[in-house]
Amino acid sequence: MSKLFRFGVSLDKDLLDKFDRLIRAKNYPNRSEAFRDLIRKELVKREWQKAAEIAGAITLIYDHHKRELLNKLTNIQHDFQNLIVSTQHIHLDHNNCLEIIVVKGNPKQAQKLADTLKAVKGVKYGTLSMSTTGKEIK
Ligand code: NI
């Protein structure tokens, strides 16, 4: 385990009050953990801009009755097969499906896959959760 360092942070009262409200709203046990999370978030953001390998998840909501939609989504995923780790399909109700596509690899490719899938006609909603392989973060 790496060594723990302490350092002081100067903040004006207003900003600190806002930070403390945020900490309470998000149920952080203390300021240190909230601060660490903010740093990690920025590091992950940077990984998505700079790193060679990231991990993440694309979530799609769509109506599987839409003509050709399933074929299109499958064809796109085959074009990105090196990037996709796994896909989970959940039948939400009679019409709607939720699909979670786990990706690991080049961040630009992951963004491109997410954009391409979201742009398919019939996809109601799509998100890309930018995460990390964890290698760069303690
Ligand atoms: Ni389904």
What gap in Å lies between CA 134 and CA 22, rounded to an integer? Answer: 25
Number of domains forming the structure of the chain: 2
For a pLDDT cut of 90, what percent of the chain falls above it? 78
Write out pLDDT tens, residues 1-26. 578 889 888 999 999 999 999 999 99
Average pLDDT (86-101) is: 97
CA nearest to 128, candidates 52, 60, 57: 57
Enclosing domain of residue 26: 13-49
Reduced to 3 states, what is the DSSP secondary structure of residue 101?
strand
Length in residues, the chain: 138
Does residue 101 lie within any of the structural domains?
yes
103 & 74 share domain: yes
CA of 121 to the centre of ligand 1 (A): 16
Does residue 8 lie within any of the structural domains?
no
CA of 25 to the centre of ligand 1 (A): 35
Residue-averaged pLDDT of the chain? 93
CA of 48 to the centre of ligand 1 (A): 30
pLDDT of residue 1: 59
125 & 100 share domain: yes
67 & 90 share domain: yes
Does residue 77 lie within any of the structural domains?
yes
CA of 72 to the centre of ligand 1 (A): 15
CA of 108 to the centre of ligand 1 (A): 28
Report whether 96 contacts 62 (CB < 8 A): yes
pTM for the whole structure? 0.81
CA of 103 to the centre of ligand 1 (A): 20
Does residue 98 lie within any of the structural domains?
yes
Which amino acid, one-letter code, is at 99? Answer: E
CA of 74 to the centre of ligand 1 (A): 13
CA of 89 to the centre of ligand 1 (A): 6
Q: What is the DSSP string of 48-99?
A: HHH-S-EEEEEEEEEETTSTTHHHHHHHHHHHTTTTEEEEEEEE-SSSEEEE
84 & 27 share domain: no
Does residue 6 lie within any of the structural domains?
no
59 & 35 share domain: no
